[in-house]
Amino acid sequence: MSFARTRVKICGTTNLSDALSAAEAGADAIGLIFAPVSKRRIDAAAARQISLAVEPSVGRVGVFLDQSSEEVLRLADATRLSAVQIHDRYSSAEWAELASFYPVVRVVRPADLGQIDVPALGSSITLMLDAPQPGSGQPLDWPALAPAFPAGAWLAGGLGPSNVAQAISALRPAGVDAVSALEVRPGHKDPALVRAFVEAVRRADGPSQR
Interacting residues with ligand LARABZUK (CB under 6 A): 11-12, 31, 33, 35, 37-40, 63, 65, 87, 130-131, 134-137, 156-159, 177-181
CB of 22 to ligand LARABZUK, least distance (A): 12
CB of 41 to ligand LARABZUK, least distance (A): 8
Specify which residues 61 forms β-bridges with.
Answer: 31, 83
Query: Which among 18, 28, 130, 177 is annotated as catalytic?
Result: 130
Residue from 168, 178, 174, 176 nearest 206 by CA: 168
Q: Considering beta carbons, is residue 1 or 108 the nearer one to ligand LARABZUK?
A: 108
Give the separation between CA 203 and CA 8, rounded to whole angstroms.
Answer: 13
Q: Considering beta carbons, is residue 54 or 86 the nearer one to ligand LARABZUK?
A: 86
Residue 132's alpha-carbon distances to 20, 83, 123, 154, in angstroms, are 29, 22, 25, 15
Q: Which residue is nearest to ligand LARABZUK (CB)?
A: 135
Q: Is 130 one of the annotated active-site residues of the chain?
A: yes
CB of 128 to ligand LARABZUK, least distance (A): 7
Q: Is 117 one of the annotated active-site residues of the chain?
A: no
Give the separation between CA 134 and CA 44, rounded to whole angstroms.
Answer: 21
CB of 97 to ligand LARABZUK, least distance (A): 21
DSSP secondary structure of 153-204 = -EE-SS--TTTHHHHHHHH--SEEEE-GGGEEETTEE-HHHHHHHHHHHHHH
Query: Which among 11, 18, 28, 177 is annotated as catalytic?
Result: 11
Which residues are identified as catalytic?
11, 130
